[in-house]
């Protein structure tokens, strides 16, 4: 009886919802409607809205550090094949772990693969902030640290700002107090794009990892001029308490396929990924694309060349317009707008169909722009003097 009632109420709810959708006056408009089971407002989006999987035509999307040159042709073919087995849970993770392990001279047990590097990064943050704080620079990619620590007793402790926006490793080391469980360094850093001296970072990792876990987020490593020199992965094999996160979202051009990985001591990996946490966050197509792309040197070289070309164009253009970019070895650039407000700049650029990031924390005069297709970068360059004139 109870079941019947519930089903009828649900059916009624479905009809109300369908009715409001049919009455949607404007394509894609969002409506608030009343739930059939109570007075809880529910958001219903127009059923006739065109599904969109990327930026609309004419929009230069330069706000999320994606690589529009992916997926590679080999990744596309692999995905096409893999989705035919979409009814099955993912079984190719051991293969992906094996090729990553081989290249990095670690065992598959050192590797945790998840839905983007965000997933393992968040799981790690959840684990450590039950015990202590995470120490980071004032400005770094802290999204997963915030997500992971949200319901825990400990959170993020930040270093003081530095004048040149670099990460002060000496001060970081000195700040490792007993309540710090992990230190987190994004290298190259986001949003600054700055890369630390590999020699200094290696020394820091060796010393700091005696006091706390050291996490190096290397999402943009492959875009630097010397990825092998800049990575801290070898320290893991040498037995240091170092964790490295990497992703398929950047140079591999697979941000929407959600695959990333973490390399660490197998004991730590098993602690943060019990009950198959990693595998359950994955999907057939993403794993297939990652396997197909990982050693696709031709595509990786092409991606990097295009990113460097776009980066050079951006740097020249912002300088010509009197702005100061930070040096970057990534697919984005942090630009000092002088006295101009970065949110105002973002809004005006959006009117020109160019999407860039708004303000970070209290860095109100800094604007981050990603590299994109060359045509997108040209659109940014064309809009730049117009917008600067408008808001100056």
Ligand X SMILES: Cc1ncc(COP(=O)(O)O)c(C=O)c1O
Binding residues for ligand X, per CB under 6 A?
65, 116-118, 141, 186, 190, 217, 219, 247, 249, 255, 260
- Identify whether the C-beta of residue 182 lies closer than 8 Å to the C-beta of residue 343: no
Residue 139 or 340: which CB sits closer to ligand X?
Answer: 139
Taking the complex as a whole, the smallest distance from the CB of residue 247 to ligand X amounts, in Å, to 3
CA angle 172, 177, 178 (to 5 degrees): 145
Taking the complex as a whole, the smallest distance from the CB of residue 186 to ligand X amounts, in Å, to 5
Instruction: Say how far apart CA 171 and CA 200 lie, in whole Å.
Output: 13
Residues whose CB is less than 8 angstroms from the CB of residue 166 and which lie 6 or more positions away in sequence, other chains included: 192, 194, 196
Write b or e for each residue in 85-110: b if 16 or more Cβ atoms lie within 10 A of its Cβ, otherwise e. eeeeebebbeebbeebbeebebebeb
Residue 291 or 340: which CB sits closer to ligand X?
Answer: 291
CA angle 208, 214, 220 (to 5 degrees): 125
Q: Which residue of the chain is nearest ligand X when measured via CB?
A: 116
Taking the complex as a whole, the smallest distance from the CB of residue 353 to ligand X amounts, in Å, to 22
Our CA dihedral for 103, 109, 111, 114, rounded to 10 degrees, sits at 140
Residue 216 or 377: which CB sits closer to ligand X?
Answer: 216
Taking the complex as a whole, the smallest distance from the CB of residue 246 to ligand X amounts, in Å, to 8
Residue 180 or 257: which CB sits closer to ligand X?
Answer: 257
Taking the complex as a whole, the smallest distance from the CB of residue 3 to ligand X amounts, in Å, to 41
Residues whose CB is less than 8 angstroms from the CB of residue 103 and which lie 6 or more positions away in sequence, other chains included: 294, 295
Taking the complex as a whole, the smallest distance from the CB of residue 270 to ligand X amounts, in Å, to 21
Residue 290 or 318: which CB sits closer to ligand X?
Answer: 290
Tokens matching residue 232: 């801290």
Instruction: Say how far apart CA 89 and CA 229 lie, in whole Å.
Output: 37
Residue 139 or 219: which CB sits closer to ligand X?
Answer: 219
């Amino acid at each position: 009886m109870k079941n019947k009632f519930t089903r009828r109420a649900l059916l009624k709810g479905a009809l109300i919802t369908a009715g409001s959708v049919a009455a949607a006056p404007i394509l894609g408009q969002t409506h608030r409607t009343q739930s059939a089971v109570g007075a809880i407002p529910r958001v219903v989006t127009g059923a006739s809205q065109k599904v969109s999987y990327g930026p609309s035509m004419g929009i230069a999307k330069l706000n999320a550090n994606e690589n529009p040159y992916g997926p590679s042709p080999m990744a596309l073919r692999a995905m096409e094949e893999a989705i035919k087995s979409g009814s099955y849970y993912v079984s190719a993770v051991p293969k992906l772990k094996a090729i990553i392990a081989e290249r990095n001279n670690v065992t598959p047990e050192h590797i945790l693969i998840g839905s983007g590097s965000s997933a393992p990064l968040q799981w790690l943050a959840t684990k450590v902030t039950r015990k202590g704080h995470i120490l980071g620079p004032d400005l770094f990619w802290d999204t997963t640290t915030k997500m992971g620590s949200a319901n825990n007793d400990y959170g993020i402790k930040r270093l003081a700002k530095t004048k040149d926006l670099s990460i002060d490793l000496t001060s970081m080391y000195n700040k490792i107090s007993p309540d710090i469980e992990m230190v987190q360094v994004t290298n190259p850093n986001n949003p600054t794009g700055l890369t630390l001296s590999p020699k200094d970072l290696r020394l820091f990792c060796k010393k700091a990892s005696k006091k706390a876990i050291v996490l190096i987020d290397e999402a943009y490593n492959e875009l630097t001029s010397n990825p092998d020199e800049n990575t801290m992965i070898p320290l893991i094999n040498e037995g240091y308490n170092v964790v490295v996160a990497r992703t398929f979202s950047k140079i591999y051009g697979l941000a929407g396929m959600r695959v990333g990985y973490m390399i660490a001591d197998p004991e730590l990996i098993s602690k943060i990924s019990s009950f198959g946490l990693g595998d359950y966050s994955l999907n057939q197509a993403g794993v297939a694309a990652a396997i197909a792309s990982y050693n696709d040197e031709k595509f990786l070289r092409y991606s990097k060349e295009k990113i460097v070309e776009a980066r050079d164009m951006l740097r020249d253009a912002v300088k010509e317009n009197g702005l100061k970019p930070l040096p970057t070895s990534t697919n984005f650039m942090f630009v000092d707008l002088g006295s101009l407000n970065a949110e105002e700049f973002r809004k005006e650029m959006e009117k020109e169909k160019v999407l860039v990031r708004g303000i970070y924390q209290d860095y109100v005069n800094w604007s981050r722009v990603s590299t994109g297709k060359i045509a997108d970068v040209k659109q940014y360059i064309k809009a730049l003097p117009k917008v600067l004139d408008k808001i100056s």
